[in-house]
Structure 1
Amino acid sequence: MQASVWSPFRYPAYRVFWCCAFLSNLGTWVQDVAASWLMTHLSTSPLVISLLSFSSSLPVVLLSIPAGFWADSGDRRKILLFAQALMASSAFFLGLQAAQGTLSEIMILLLCFSMGIGVALNGPAYQTVLSELVPQHEQQSAVMLYYMGLNITRVVGPAVGGLILGFAGASSAFFVNAFSFLGLIFYYWIWPIGSKTTHAPEKFTAYYQKINSQDWKILFSIHNLKLWVEILAVSFSASALWALYPVRGRLELHLESLQYGSLLGCLGFGAFLSAIFSRHLMNPQRTWQSLSFAYLVFAAGETLLALADVYVMACLAMVLGGIGWIILATLMNMSTRQLSTASHLKATMLGVFLSVFYLGMSLGSVTWGALARFSTSSKALLVSAVFLSLCSVYKYVRKS
């Protein structure tokens, strides 16, 4: 890896942001393990368990686009502070109720929905901030370094979550996540980047008048619309693994807490491998080829998870899923960023990306959960894998 990849760390604002984001992402993965584990104790229905993913994704679908427009026209610092505080308080109340033994399926879903609102408000503004902390020529490296840190937390977070779950209980995992937001809250409180303000209506009007017809043409271009359809189809298919791995791991393979936590760790390890070999796996000149490969690898992971009858097979399935997931998520995100560079609606376009992506995740979670409820989780995973394989073939043949 070339030294230039690490060059964004020379900038104190980015360096501190990266560390705070790393701790926050670590806490998120710790909570994911605890929430899905606790849900499988409260219910054995695949449909109910899949609603955990649905409840977190739905707010992102509904709010990402208005949140993006708000971030483009408003004070991003205040938006980010509010979003982080909302997520932290939701995680704290999850921990409090778990400690008191009063946490039910409905309360988990409601508090996860509340956290999803925070994610929706945070996402577009957060994405634009990431590339503004360094000069233009360092932005690609800054994004790559951020995703590298995210991939590390995908490996470490679930393992830490499994340990906390096994030795201290689910409530401790929720409290750890609540406190993990404090770093970013403090960072945004002293944020060194200037923000637009919305104290006066005329300032919003002035911003709105800056938007011209070209901005709307970019937003609703044919290329963008095709990209959104593809994102919707792929995220719909890929959601099966996220929605049903708790059913396969906890209820059908009867894994202990440490083994269960390591499943997400294996997915994170696959994502980390993708980041290390990103120059070979993510070819910007042949994005269609890289995405086709990613869809096929993720489908292979879903197939192996469907057929897994031992822990080791499930781990290998999650590694494959992680390899495919980070390639498709990163390239789709970067495609949206490239399209938004010439527009005043940068955060809005990133909001559309998040909304479409999580729409597929939300619809898919419920669909695959219902299919698993009326057949089996393995059949649902296999159907999803077939659909994603067809997307891979179509992408490769069309070369677009």
Structure 2
Amino acid sequence: MMLGFELGAAIGIWILVLAVQWTMTQAGESAFAVSAVQFAASLPFFLLSLPLGAVAEHAGHRTLLTGTAIGLLITSAVLTALQALDLATTPVLMAAVFLSGCGLASVAIVWQSLLPTLATREMMTVVPAIDGAIFNGARAIGPVLGGALLAAWGATSTFGLVTVVFAICVVLAASQIPPRSGRVPKTESVLESVATSLRFIRHSRWTRRLLFRVVMFGLPASCLWALLPVVAYEMLHVTTIEFGVLSGAIGVGAVAGTIASMPLRSRLSWNVFAALGSAAYALVLLGIAVVAWMPVVVALLVIVGAAWVGVQSTWMIATHAVVPPWIKARVIAVVMLTFQGSQAVGALLWGFLADTMGLVSAVVVSAIAMSVSSIGLLRRGILPSDSIAPDPSGAAGPPELEPHHRGATIVVETTYAVLPQRADHFVHAMTRLRSSRLRLGASRWALTRVSDSASTYVEFCTFRNWSEYSAQETVRLTVPERLVRTDLALDLAEEPRVRVLVRPRTPADRTEST
């Protein structure tokens, strides 16, 4: 029944988006204006992903998803009323798409946070792909339903049906999602959580490379979603129902491709699998640019649907497999932010190029860009995951601090007695330790050498409070992160000496807090 919520919400949103796109296309809007619909649907991911990723860890999945469904219900009900009164102008339609995009962002991010509570770690190697097929399967059902409803009953009835779908989603979310799911005790504010996420990404080379590959796929991929209504109307001259079939073909490919590609996925690396999907996507874009025959385009869109969900799910499978649990929901949110942000920017870019250099030329340029992305995956793809694999180290953690010091800034001083012949290697190894410390929560890091002892080095790590330091030494310390520290043992003459320093509260601090 929980899958019914995800499927229903996505179907309703895609019916609404398709209805708005096709209504604007038939009204004679420019390619840029039509592509702006995709921008409006994607922009909420860019704006809300990080806050939602932070909130999803402790606010409760039932609360968030029920609230999202209520918001979607209100949006579609108001749009239905305005359409019935002939007041649904272009700004109103765009606002409805934007609010629906907010709902889609919330469903996608909170759902990804919910998945690990429903499946084992072994199952998570395939669950994101299956979930992606379900989520994208909505693109098979939604557009076909939307096209049929638009042709048979018109926009008002179409928006009215979407309202009914969202009402059902409210009931499913409130009754089927476990009440305690996602209620992890809150240890930091939303802003602090966002800052921790950005710091982790900044100092995680693996995550930065993943996000780069996401952008390199997302920008050219957005051309299809942004310009498909214009291609269908100007090049294929299709009816409303036929446009629904074209859009639905992508969803059919997403579902069928997920099932058909399972054996292939198990034999190929993430990079090779994603490169093949990107290459297929590029060929489809090129085919759409040169072939203006409906049956061929439908077949091409089935292929592109399989490629679309195959590449997207590869990013999610990699993230679930590699990123540690304490930061996973937030990194997933950033992956979605990056992908949807590239979709939003790309939609405007391809709409602008279609208006200035022609529709066919814009699609050909996107095909070339996707080919470059495919080759890049083979040459500079996702990095090996050894440095941030999620296996916990089982460390006991530091001794407890006196309660009245726990809110104060913590500075950890570690003194190393280095073997003289290993000094150069030690300094090099400390650059890896620096990244690890900052990745796991330290706000500042410095390494100094004692002036009168060439073999004695002192490391200073600053933490916002005791909870941040304790988390770094326990729940955030995975086996690979611990190995970064133990690898220093060969460089040392004795065990490091650690002191925890507490920054005293000054009169200025007391004044600011009152």
Fold conserved between structures, TM > 0.5: yes
| Inter-partner Cα distance in structure 2 for 1:137 and 1:349 | 20
Instruction: From 96, 108, 111, give the equivalent of 2:93.
Output: 108
Residue matched to 2:361 = 379
| Inter-partner Cα distance in structure 1 for 2:303 and 2:70 | 35
Output aligned runs, 1:203-218, within 5 Å.
203-205=186-188, 217=200
1:238 aligns with 2:233: no
Q: CA deviation at 1:117?
A: 2.1
Q: CA deviation at 1:121?
A: 3.1
Q: CA deviation at 1:125?
A: 1.6
| Inter-partner Cα distance in structure 1 for 2:367 and 2:189 | 49
1:221 aligns with 2:201: no
Deviations 1:99-149 (A, max 9, x none): 222212111111111222223333322211133134445445544443343
1:181 aligns with 2:169: no
| Inter-partner Cα distance in structure 1 for 2:311 and 2:359 | 24
Counterpart contact for 2:252–2:305, Cα < 8 Å:
yes
Output aligned runs, 1:123-138, within 5 Å.
123-138=108-123
Counterpart contact for 2:57–2:113, Cα < 8 Å:
no
Instruction: From 149, 155, 158, give the equivalent of 1:164.
Output: 149
Residue matched to 2:248 = 265
| Inter-partner Cα distance in structure 1 for 2:11 and 2:104 | 15
Bigger CA drift: 100-109 or 377-386?
100-109
Counting matched residue pairs gives 381
Q: CA deviation at 1:20?
A: 2.7
Q: Which has the higher contact order (CA 8 A, sep 6+)?
A: 1
Instruction: From 299, 303, 319, give the equivalent of 1:316.
Output: 299
Residue matched to 1:63 = 48
Deviations 1:24-54 (A, max 9, x none): 3332332232121111123430001100000
Structure 1 gap ranges (5+): 1-15
Q: Report the structure, 1 or 2, having the larger strand content.
A: 2
> Which amino acid in structure 2 is aligned with residue 374 of structure 1?
T
| Inter-partner Cα distance in structure 2 for 1:209 and 1:352 | 15
Residue matched to 1:254 = 237
| Inter-partner Cα distance in structure 2 for 1:206 and 1:242 | 36
Instruction: From 194, 207, 213, give the equivalent of 2:180.
Output: 194
Residue matched to 2:66 = 81
1:348 aligns with 2:333: no
| Inter-partner Cα distance in structure 1 for 2:223 and 2:192 | 43
Give the 3-state SS of the residue equivalent to 1:344 in structure 2.
helix
Instruction: From 18, 29, 35, give the equivalent of 1:44.
Output: 29
| Inter-partner Cα distance in structure 1 for 2:72 and 2:189 | 32
1:362 aligns with 2:344: yes
Identity of aligned residues (%): 23
Deviations 1:312-351 (A, max 9, x none): 23212312221210111111121122233x2312221111
| Inter-partner Cα distance in structure 2 for 1:361 and 1:109 | 16
Deviations 1:166-204 (A, max 9, x none): 111122222222222233322332332414659xxx944
Counterpart contact for 2:218–2:340, Cα < 8 Å:
yes
Q: TM-score, normalized by length of structure 1?
A: 0.87
| Inter-partner Cα distance in structure 2 for 1:258 and 1:203 | 49
Inter-CA distance 34–209: structure 2 relative to 1 (3 Å threshold) = closer
Inter-CA distance 210–166: structure 2 relative to 1 (3 Å threshold) = closer
Bigger CA drift: 122-131 or 136-145?
136-145
Structure 2 gap ranges (5+): 383-514
Inter-CA distance 69–243: structure 2 relative to 1 (3 Å threshold) = same
| Inter-partner Cα distance in structure 2 for 1:32 and 1:123 | 16
Give the 3-state SS of the residue equivalent to 1:181 in structure 2.
helix
Q: Report the structure, 1 or 2, having the larger helix content.
A: 1
| Inter-partner Cα distance in structure 2 for 1:77 and 1:130 | 13
1:301 aligns with 2:284: yes
Counterpart contact for 2:12–2:165, Cα < 8 Å:
yes
Q: CA deviation at 1:305?
A: 1.4
Deviations 1:47-88 (A, max 9, x none): 011000001111110110111011123233222222222222
Counterpart contact for 1:282–1:331, Cα < 8 Å:
no
> Which amino acid in structure 1 is aligned with residue 372 of structure 2?
L
Counterpart contact for 1:54–1:361, Cα < 8 Å:
yes
Counterpart contact for 2:279–2:371, Cα < 8 Å:
yes
Counterpart contact for 1:289–1:396, Cα < 8 Å:
yes
Residue matched to 1:335 = 318
> Which amino acid in structure 2 is aligned with residue 266 of structure 1?
A
Inter-CA distance 214–162: structure 2 relative to 1 (3 Å threshold) = closer
| Inter-partner Cα distance in structure 2 for 1:212 and 1:343 | 17
- Is the radius of gyration larger for structure 1 or structure 2? 2
Instruction: From 257, 271, 277, give the equivalent of 1:274.
Output: 257
Residue matched to 1:9 = none
| Inter-partner Cα distance in structure 1 for 2:119 and 2:229 | 39
Inter-CA distance 99–308: structure 2 relative to 1 (3 Å threshold) = farther
